[in-house]
Amino acid sequence: MHEIKSKNQIIYDALGYLLEDALLEEIIHVGQLREVQLDEVILNVGDTMQMIPIVLRGSIKVSRENDAGEELLLYYIEGGDTCAMTLQCCVRHTSSEIKATSMEDSLLLFIPVEMMENWMHKYKTWREYILQSYHTRLTELMETVDAIAFMRLDERLMKFLVDQAKLLGSLEINLTHQKIAEDLHSSRVVISRLLKQLEVKGKIKLLRNKIILASI
């Protein structure tokens, strides 16, 4: 009984402001909770999924990966969000074209894909939730394309650091220069040089495997 109450409370706390009570009761009945650790790969390129993931707590990084293993950051998913690209894979029964990695210890809710279409017809709040997810992810993808096409790499780097700080709620960012380079599809040498320039300007402070922003 204690576990059931805990699951109910977790789902209501995360999604109660978005979805109606009757839908939440169905979600509690069919949904499966899963805890993931920092840097855990939740979905890889080529994987197939039968469950729709919703982030209840924490944050997930979604990226593209080429055959050489090089990554390009696409967007982040936070508490209460789902991934539109993963939804497409589930509904169309196709292999994943993205990689999803936890940025921190997180809690995910997995829902059987067959419930999605049923709820689209049955619940207005679910339709709005899914459509809003598609809209939000498309907007974020456009921002990523704009950043790559129109921003200098030093500007993209600073935006990346600020986005990380806001997402994790801390001015301290625990990432190596190599990891940042991978997310920005650049080289470690270039990123290290740009980080040093930002430190000289007083925008950040560099420590071992840690970057501290002066402000957001």
Copy the structure tokens of residue 165.
């700080």
Q: How many CA atoms lie within 13 A of 169 on its CB side?
A: 5
Percent helix, strand, coil in the chain (nearest 5)? 50, 25, 25
CATH number attached to the domain at 2-149: 2.60.120.10
Q: Where are the domains of the chain?
A: 2-149, 152-213
The confidence score (pLDDT) of residue 177 equals 92
The confidence score (pLDDT) of residue 1 equals 41
Q: Decide if domain 152-213 falls under CATH 1.10.287.3510.
A: no
The confidence score (pLDDT) of residue 209 equals 83
The confidence score (pLDDT) of residue 4 equals 52
Coil vs helix vs strand at 77: strand
Report pLDDT digits (tens) over 154-183: 999 999 999 999 988 899 999 899 999 988
Other CB atoms within 10 Å distance of the CB of residue 208: 5
Kind and range of the H or E run holding 141:
helix 124-150
Per residue, the 3-state secondary structure of 61-121, as one string, reads EEEEECCCCCEEEEEEEECCCECHHHHHHHHHCCCCCCEEEECCCEEEEEEECHHHHHHHH
The residue ranges of the chain whose pLDDT is under 50 are 1-2
Report pLDDT digits (tens) over 182-212: 888 888 999 999 999 999 999 999 998 899 9
The confidence score (pLDDT) of residue 165 equals 92
